[in-house]
Each structure stands twice: as C-alpha cells, then as structure tokens.
Amino acid sequence: MAVQFSEEKLNKVKEIIARYPAGKQKSALIPVLHLAQESFGGWLSADTMDYVAGLLQIEPIEVYEVATFYSMFNLQPVGKYLFEVCQTGPCMLNGSDDIIHYIKEKLGIKVGETTPDGLFTLKTVECLGACGYAPMMQLGKFYKEHLTKEKVDQIIADCRAQANN
Amino acid sequence: MAEEKKLFKVKIDNITVEVEPGTTILNAARNIGGEVVPPAMCYYSKLDGSGGKCRTCLVKVTKGSEADPRPMPKLVASCRTTVMDGMEVANITSPEVLEARKGVVEFLLINHPLDCPVCDQAGECDLQDLSYEHGVSGTRYEFKRRTFEKEDIGEHIKLHMTRCILCYRCVFTADQLTEKRQHGILKRGDASEISTYMRASLDQTNFIGNVIDVCPVGALTDRTARFKNRVWFLKPVDAHRNCEDPKCCGKTVLWMRGDEIFRVTARKDKYGEVEGFICDTCRFEKKEVKDWVVEGPRKIARHSVISQGHYVGVHKPQETVARVMDGRQPKLLMDIHTVSEVNMPQVDLSQLEGPAHSTDFPTNKGVQ
Amino acid sequence: MGRKLLLDKAHIEGIRYFDVYRKNGGYAAAEKALKSMSPDQVTEEVKKSGMRGRGGAGFPTGMKWSFLAKPEGVPCYLVCNADESEPGTFKDRYLMEFLPHLLIEGLLISSYALGANTTYIYIRGEYAWIPDILEEAIAEAHKNGFLGKNILGTGFDLEIYVQRGAGAYICGEETALIESLEGKRGTPRIKPPFPAVKGLYQCPTVVNNVETLAAIVPIINIGGDEYVKYGIGKSAGTKLISACGNINKPGVYEIEMNISVEEFIYSDEYCGGIPNGKRLKACIPGGSSVPIVPANLLLTTAKGEKRMMTYESLNDGGFATGTMMGSGGFIVLDEDQCVVRHTLSLARFYHHESCGQCSPCREGTGWMEKVLKNIEHGKGKMSDIDLLWDIQRKIEGNTICPLGDAAAWPVAAAIRHFRDEFEWHVLNPDEAQRRNFGLAHYADPLPVAAAV
C-alpha cells in the first residue's frame, strides 16, 4: 500500500507549513508526523517517515531522528486501542501499579504487548499531567481518569463494543 | 594602519595568556599547552557546533571577568565557553573540577565494553588516554552494560555501537563534509544510538570515511584495516599525493609494516584532531606505496604506545650511575651472578625459544 | 477566602467562549495595554509587579523581558511553554482547558510588549484535545479583532499558532523546546547564547510559562503596584498550586502567597486534609524535581517558624532543611507510603526522560534507577546508599541543562531526610517486601537550635 495523504490532509499539511517562516518547513515535522500516525494505522513505518521527509523536503534520517526521540510516536504496529497507563510518582501513590496489574490480567498480556485479536496494546508511560486525577491512562486523544477496576472493565467493554460495530 | 586588536587576558591555573576575543577557554588553554589543557572527548575544533556534551572539559571559572568578577556558579564546559577579559579559570588546580571529571570518566565507562584487547582503536583511543589520566582503576557499576549488534554501514565502515560514547562528532562530520547525511542519533537517553535506522550504506559520498578519524573510540573503524594489525606494531609514515578531489588535503599518514600499507589515515595533532580531512579514495583505495610520495617517519608522542617500536626521537639513557657517583668508585659488595645461576648475562634471553628455564643456564658457576 | 486573580471567573459557565469571557471583563487589559500604553510601559508594569516566572525557576518575568535583544530587521518571537510535564504539575492544563482566552489575552499583551508578531504555544503532545480548544479560541479572537492584522486599530499584528509536542519532558526546558519547535530532537542547547539573543530560528526569543503569561492580564488590569500587594515580599501575586497525592481534594488551587503550608494541606478551602484520618509523612511541594521533605520540616522551618507557601519560606534552610516552590506541583505522601519506592518511581521518570545528550545525565540517571530498584526489591547493600549519594552529586551541576539537577535532587533529598528508611530496606529485605516503613519519626517536632 503506497503511503499517500488524502487531498484534505495534504491541505492540512500545507496549512501547518504556512505557520512557519519561509524555509523553516522542518518545524512542521512533529505536527505532520502526528497527522501521519493518525492516518496510517497508528504507527510510523519507515515508508511513512520517508513520505513525510519528501513532503517537507528534508533528509529521511532527520525524520527518523525525531520520530525515535519522542515517546508518542509508535515505531511498531499497535492495537486498535492503545492503553497508556501512567506509573509515575503521584499516580503510583494512588495505586497505578494495581491498575496496571489488573489490566495485564484482564487482557492477558504483558506491558508492551498487543492482544492476539489486535484490539488492545498496553503501555506504561511516565507522567501525563493528570496527577490530581490519578490513577489515569491515555486512550487515543483523551484521558481516562480516576481509574478503578470497575472503570477499567467498563472501558474495555466499551472498546470491544465499539470495535464490533 | 589598522588598529591593533585588543586581546583578552585570561588566567588559567595561574598561568596568564592573551587571546583574541571569542576564543574558548579550552583553546586558550591549548595556547598555553601542557597539563592545563582540559581533555575533550566531543569537542572538535574543525567541526562547527561540536562540544559541550561529554563534560570532560569542565572547568571552574573563579572570576568571571574584570568588569564582573563574580565566579560562575557551576562548572562550565570549557570548549563552549568563551573567555572574557580578566577571566580566571581553575582546571587542574581545582579539586572540584578533578572530582567532577573523575565522575564523568566513570559515567562514560559504565556502558563502555572495555574490550580494548580486541579493539582496533586500542593504542590510539581517546577514551583509553582519558581513563588512564583521569579515571579510577575499578568500577562501581554492577549491572548489565548496554550492547548492540555490530553493523556494516557501507563497504568500508564498521559501526560497533556498543563502544560509542555519543560524542556526536560523526554526525557533525556527515553534516558538514558530505552532501547528504544518512546516519544520525536515534532514540534518547541511554538508549540513544548512532544508526542509519534503515541499515543503509553510507558509501555514496566521498568524505564519509572521516567519521573513522573523528571517532574518539573504536565505534567506527576502517573495515579495510580491521583486525589486520595492532597500531603499535605498525610504523606511521607521513605521505602525500596529488588528490583529484579539491576538498581533500591529500596529506596522510600511512601505517606500514615493511612495504605493506595496512591503513591510511589523516594526520592527527596532539589533541587527536585531524590536520586536514581526506577523501575516501585516498583512505580506502590507495594502499600501494607507489600511490604516495613518502615524506618520512611521523613524529609520535613519546608517551604513546605507538612509539614503541617506532624509533624516532629516541634518546639514549644517560649513564646515571656514573653521574650520581661523581667520580667515586663504589665497592661492589656482591655480584648476584656469582651466587645465582639464572639470568646469567652471558645468555641472551631473546635467543632462547620460549620462556627461560633454569636448564637454559650453565650449572657450574663462573663458566664462560 | 484568599483573593484570586486568575481563577476568579473560572466558575462562570461558558467562560471558555469569547462572548462570555468578554462580557465578564475579558480583553479589557488588552485594550488598555494596546491603546493607552507603550510596549515599554507594559514591560515596566510587569517589572513593578515583581512577578516571578511560574514555570519553576522563579526568575522575575519583567527582567527576562528586558533582556530581549532587539536588533534591527530581525523578528523576535514569544513562545508560550505549555509543555507541562513535571510530575505533580497540572495547573497549565486547567488554565488552557477552562480559560483559553485568558491565555490568549496574556499572549497578546506580552507579544505587544516584546514586539513579537508571531507567537507559538508549544503544548505537550499528550494534551491532544487542548489544541482544539485553543485553536477555537484563537479563531474567535481573530473574528473579534483581537488577533490578526492591525489589532484594535493600533497597527499591531499578531498571529498565534499552537504546536503539539510528542512526548518529551525535556522539551519543557526552553532551549529544548525551541529545538523541538524547529522540528528537531528536543535536546537542550548549550548556553550562552541565551534565547533572548539567539532563540527560535536564531532570532531573539522569550519563552514563558502559561501561568506567567496569563498573570500578565491581572497585572495590567490592576497595575503592577497593586499586584505586588498580593502575597508576601518577593513572592508577589497569586500562584496556582496543583495538589495531588494522598489528600482529600486534589485539584488546582489559586493561592495568595500568604498562607501557611499547614493551612494549605488541612483547610477545607484547599486540600482538605489527608484521607482516612492518616497522618502526613512527607511532601514534595513544587513538582517532582524539588527536594522531598518530611512532615516536621514541611510544616515548620528549622528555625521553628511556621512554613509559608512562598518562594522564600519554602526555600528557608536551603537544601539542608528546606525545599522549593518550583512549578507548584504539590505532592503529599501519607504515613503508608514508601519513600524508597516513590524515589524509585521518580528516578525511573528521569531516566526515561533524559535526552541523552550529555554523559552525566545519560548514564547517571539509569544507574540511579538500577541501584534504587535493587534497594526497593530487597537486593540492596548498605554501600548502595552512599553510591547513590555519590552518583547524584556527580550529576548535579555538571550537565548542560537543569534536568540533571532535577534528577539528582529528589534522590539527594530522599537520602538526606529518609536515610533510615533506606537502611531499613537494606537490613530487612524480606520485611520490606511485605510492609512499608511507616511514619516513624518523620512527623516528630524537631529540636530548634537556640538563636545565635
């Protein structure tokens, strides 16, 4: 499958590039990588990164360097639903370890793994800036806060239901 | 007449030197030379933007300048800090600096494999010299070291990432000397690595071989010379040729044994920096003596292990005993050879096959 | 009730939208500044207010602005640092989510003062839904003539763009942020040159925290002279504190810097005490990087005075017995928490977030995490505690950016104040797996040295 943005997304890329002074289109790299990750299956393949390099007229290695630096870019395929559970200090004080353990048990996977049906991937992450609403995790664009075992059950059930529709 | 440029007066370890404004503390110290020069693992004067990362060149600024004499609150990287008029700097006179440097050396070594016995860089390795001069003998690190697979990045260069200390010099080299950089720093923190990501070959450009010369450790080595010989068994010879590439300085060092050229490198100064960059054709393809105009043996620092077996500038030891005795004749109380059979001066040890045994020496004393 | 300057209108329904914000006195400060004040007068007002940067370092904002180089023909930039990633800190998120126009108004006034015509908000990538809120607010401001060309007929132009990061704590450091904004790896630059001289695209740049920029609005509204009357001494104004950990009411609070730490933790107006009647063991009052202090040193200084929520009082006693205001991430640990485990979690965080550019931080943070892991999991040795101390000492102050210090301080403070808990872990490896050290003596009043 050739990597190619839709017309609409290409316009978005142009709009992003226009935010920066002429010749500074490299500034658009991180926003465009976000866009690419959303558009091409939730992760960045080498082809995707090469495509982005071409769009921004920079060397592919410059894209690889950046994509591997930031923790939000996935360089391996991930499940449809990516659970990123925070485990740093304040979340830990409020029981994030138990939540992580519970999700592992519930989904039958280890941290970093994807369920065989390709639906869920579990990742642990460092502080997401929701310390007052701990424990929490990121699911897609939004945060799921004040997690309890019941709430985790509900989230997983909701995801399954959504995937089946 | 042009007005004379005002020079800045800087004091480093109580030695005063005058340098042009804009000079870094490190270069001011190099102007003085000797022991006050801070070591540098990442800074490379020929590469813009290098330096500041390894932190081995940290020094203490005890007086900011004549105008603002306050000391700087933290140790500063001397390679990236420019001098001010009247600045006073402590390097080896500051215990704090020496302590911090010891710490940096330890940090650089905790993930370094210490495989010097099999490393091609051994003998000309900046990290070896650094740990010898500034490190401690043991390590307190008790965990698994980070390791990587060795990788051929192109026909001529081997990347042995496990040895890398992430000085970024090779990245600057590729940026500034070649048309297209194909390798870089991937990932972050202690997982950072030099890589092409795609296992690409770096051969498309004619200057990438310089990354081997700028690498302070054995992370990037010359595949045409790997494992062929130890550097201290080779004789470095200055040579040059008329290189067709205008960017290539053509002045090299040939590492030879007999008439055989094992390796071609650029000429390095006493800080381990090349005097001029050379092209890949000179480095990898010109391995016949007829390709070169040989100038003569290269001067190698006396303390370097390479100077063993490289007889340039060797002084015959003075007859110390005679000078100390100042004409007096000491009375020999006992000649060891009259009572011991081994190591008799008449027997030349190098003529024996294998290690010496007592059977190699005549049994009756005094026999000629 | 403490007086409020930033969140006084946060409870109004629909304050997120331009019309409601405007109706409630919004953009009055912008009008005042652009129409009746010169850029220098605005800067002067900010200087008079004595406001200190709210991002963590606490450097006076007016002073920072006055350092901006203004060479002819070179644009200068204002960058809003919304890369809030310090564990325990989530105040900027609250501001941006609920009061986006307050930030935009602050950005408008500040850009005017600095002469910047392009301003970027660099927001951490995980706050993925907030750029939509901000962009909507920016569009509204555009429509109403508070952004774009010739704002309020003054001839001043301004565009604000939102840039998302992608998950890197280090990008909260201003030069790393600038690198990231340029589309590079977020590695801090070596200073000097400072951003005020060579920042974004090598042009003069000011980087300010979200809260700092929002606070410009009340400063212009009430005037610097009035603003400085809030708080105590050099801790002028109000500060957002994001409280979390073991407290009854975690959340973002605006405090006037004249209340005591004890009041902040136990009063119902703020944290509301510790759940389940447990006792206070320790606290990190300014985000994970600042030193952790035990209960007794938190509530009273070593001199026996009540500790206040001000920059000076929190810092009283230096690192030996004090801590820092930092970014206002207030993390409370109750008696059942394990300091070793908590320190390990923070060490893991800094290991994960080290950019890897300079060697002490790159190698040292991982080493500390591994040693702490051994201690926590019952495999530690007594000498490991001294080793940890030595590693942190060799990181601190020897790195390019303050992340090295930030990684070293939590470990240093934990060992300084809780050494017996570490030793207990080493001496009782099995028991330490089953239970925690508990409160021990950490809340006992300390003898106060007689005044000399």
pLDDT digits (tens, 9 = 90+) for B263-277: 999 999 989 899 999
3-class DSSP state for residue B265?
A: strand
Return the pLDDT at B315. Answer: 63
Facing residue for B74 by CB, picked from C352, C370, C397: C397
Backbone angles phi, psi at C175, to 5 degrees: -75, -30
H-helix or E-strand spanning residue A13: helix A7-17
For domain C18-229, the CATH superfamily is NADH-ubiquinone oxidoreductase 51kDa subunit (3.40.50.11540)
Q: At what angle do helices B95-110 and B126-134 cross, to 10 degrees?
A: 130
Q: Where are the alpha helices (DSSP H) in A40-148?
A: 46-56, 60-69, 89-93, 96-107
Return the pLDDT at C186. Answer: 93
Instruction: Report the alpha-carbon distance of residue A104 to residue A112 in Å, rounded.
Output: 10
Residue range A34-58: mean pLDDT, rounded: 93
Identify residue A1 by its one-letter amino acid code: M
Q: Render B163-174 in DSSP notation, one character per residue.
A: G-----HHHHHH
Put simply, the answer to whether A70 touches C90 (Cβ < 8 Å) is no
Residue A52 has pLDDT above 90, yes or no: yes
Backbone angles phi, psi at C309, to 5 degrees: -85, 65
Return the pLDDT at B2. Answer: 53
The C-alpha torsion from A118 through A123 and A129 to A131, rounded to 10°, is 110
Measured in residues, chain C has a length of 452
CA distance A121 to chain B (A): 21
Establish, for the pair of chains A and B, how many residue pairs have beta carbons separated by less than 8 Å.
29
Interface residue of B26, B41, B53 to substitute, partner C, most C CBs within 10 Å = B53
Angle (CA) B274-B279-B285 rounded to 5° is 115
- Helices and strands, counts by H and E, chain C: 19, 12
H-helix or E-strand spanning residue B61: strand B58-63
Of B132, B165, B167, B153, the C-alpha closest to B202 is B153
Q: At what angle do helices C382-395 and C403-427 cross, to 10 degrees?
A: 170
> How far out from the chain centre does Cα C21 lie?
26
Q: Considering chain C, what is the average pLDDT of its residues? A: 93
Angle (CA) A28-A32-A35 rounded to 5° is 155
Identify residue C271 by its one-letter amino acid code: C
Cβ-based neighbours of C65, under 8 Å, separated by 6 or more:
C43, C46, C47, C110, C113, C114, C206
- For B31-56, letters b (16+ CB in 10 Å) and e give bbeeebbbbbbbbbbbbeebbbbbbb
CA distance A68 to chain B (A): 5
Domain B8-106: give its CATH architecture: Roll (3.10)
Return the pLDDT at B279. Answer: 93
CATH topology of domain C339-434: de novo design (two linked rop proteins) (1.20.1440)
Enumerate the β-bridge partners of residue C235.
Answer: C232
pLDDT tens sequence across C64-76: 999 998 888 899 9
Interface residue of B76, B81, B107 to substitute, partner C, most C CBs within 10 Å = B107
Q: Where are the alpha helices (DSSP H) in chain B?
A: 25-32, 95-110, 126-134, 169-177, 210-214, 280, 320-325, 336-339
Cβ-based neighbours of C109, under 8 Å, separated by 6 or more:
C29, C30, C33, C34, C42, C216, C217, C220
pTM metric for this prediction = 0.90
Facing residue for B187 by CB, picked from A46, A61, A69: A69
Put simply, the answer to whether C367 touches B110 (Cβ < 8 Å) is yes
Enumerate the β-bridge partners of residue C226.
Answer: none
Residue range C151-173: mean pLDDT, rounded: 94
- For C227-240, letters b (16+ CB in 10 Å) and e give bbebbbeebbbbbb
CB B272 within 8 A of CB B56: no
Alpha-carbon distance values, B91 to B32, B216, C361 (Å)? 13, 22, 22
Measured between CA atoms, the residue of chain C closest to residue B144 is C370
Return the CATH number of the domain spanning residue range B116-137+147-307: 3.30.70.20
- On the question of a cis peptide bond just before residue C192, with omega within 30 degrees of 0, the verdict is yes
Instruction: Report the alpha-carbon distance of residue A103 to residue A121 in Å, rounded.
Output: 10
The answer to whether domain C232-334 has CATH 3.40.640.10 is no
Return the pLDDT at B114. Answer: 83
Return the pLDDT at A1. Answer: 54
CB B210 within 8 A of CB B177: yes
Instruction: Report the alpha-carbon distance of residue C56 to residue C173 in Å, rounded.
Output: 10
In a 13 Å sphere around the CA of C448, the CA atoms on its Cβ side amount to: 13
> What subunits make at least 3 CB pairs under 8 angstroms with C?
A, B
Q: At what angle do helices C100-114 and C210-222 cross, to 10 degrees?
A: 80
Fold match between domain C232-334 and domain C339-434: no
Above 0.90 for ipTM, yes or no? yes
Domains and CATH numbers, chain A: 7-69 (1.10.10), 81-164 (3.40.30.10)
CB C55 within 8 A of CB C80: no
> For chain C, what percent of residues have pLDDT higher than 70?
99
Residue C1 has pLDDT above 70, yes or no: no
Interface residue of B183, B187, B192 to substitute, partner A, most A CBs within 10 Å = B187
Strands lying side by side in the sheet with B220-222: B151-152, B157-159, B220-222
Q: At what angle do helices A60-69 and A46-56 cross, to 10 degrees?
A: 120
Put simply, the answer to whether A132 touches C243 (Cβ < 8 Å) is yes
pLDDT tens sequence across C189-242: 998 899 999 999 999 999 999 999 999 999 999 999 999 998 888 888 999 999
The strand pair at C238-245 and C329-334 is best described as parallel
Measured between CA atoms, the residue of chain C closest to residue B56 is C359
Instruction: Report the alpha-carbon distance of residue C404 to residue C395 in Å, rounded.
Output: 6
Return the pLDDT at B301. Answer: 81
Put simply, the answer to whether B181 touches A61 (Cβ < 8 Å) is yes
Measured between CA atoms, the residue of chain A closest to residue B186 is A65
Enumerate the residues of chain C whose CB falls inside 8 A of the CB of residue A70.
125, 165-168, 186
Fold match between domain B8-106 and domain B116-137+147-307: no
Instruction: Report the alpha-carbon distance of residue C50 to residue C60 in Å, rounded.
Output: 6
DSSP 8-state secondary structure symbol assigned to residue C252:
E
**pLDDT band at C356, cuts 50/70/90?**
very high
Enumerate the residues of chain A whose CB falls inside 8 A of the CB of residue C129.
141-142
Cβ-based neighbours of A38, under 8 Å, separated by 6 or more:
none
Instruction: Report the alpha-carbon distance of residue B126 to residue B219 in Å, rounded.
Output: 12
Residue range A2-21: mean pLDDT, rounded: 93
Neighbours of B186 (CB within 10 A): 21
Facing residue for A65 by CB, picked from B180, B184, B198: B184
Specify the higher pLDDT residue, C402 or C448: C402
Enumerate the residues of chain B whose CB falls inside 8 A of the CB of residue A46.
197-198
Q: Considering chain A, what is the average pLDDT of its residues? A: 93
Domain limits of chain B? 8-106, 116-137+147-307
**Hey, what are B263's tokens?**
């390796």
Put simply, the answer to whether C201 touches A24 (Cβ < 8 Å) is yes
Interface residue of B94, B98, B106, B181 to substitute, partner C, most C CBs within 10 Å = B106
CB C239 within 8 A of CB C309: yes
> Which single residue is written with the structure tokens 């020094």?
B59
What residues of chain C, 136 to 155, have a C-beta less than 8 Å from chain B? none
Residue C35 has pLDDT above 80, yes or no: yes
Residue range C386-400: mean pLDDT, rounded: 94
**Hey, what are B135's tokens?**
């490190």
**pLDDT band at C276, cuts 50/70/90?**
very high
Which residues of chain B carry a pLDDT beneath 50?
1, 365-368
Enumerate the β-bridge partners of residue C164.
Answer: C123
Enumerate the residues of chain C whose CB falls inside 8 A of the CB of residue A88.
87, 288, 345-346, 348-349
